[in-house]
Amino acid sequence: MLAQAQHAAPFTDGAGMLANYLPILIFLIIAGALAVLLLVLGSLLGRLSARHRGDAAKLSPYECGFEAFEDSRMKFDVRYYLVAILFIIFDLEIAFLFPWAVSLPRIGGFGLAVMGVFLFILVIGFAYEWKKGALEWD
Instruction: Identify the burial level of 122 via C-beta atoms within 10 angstroms of its C-beta, where 0-12 means exposed, 13-18 middle and 19 or more buried.
Output: middle
Asked if the model's pLDDT at residue 5 lies above 60, the reply is no
> Phi-psi category of 65—alpha, beta or left, where left has phi over 0 and alpha has psi -120 to 50?
left
pLDDT tens for 67-105 read 666 666 777 677 778 788 888 888 888 888 888 889 889
Q: What is the pLDDT of residue 92?
A: 83
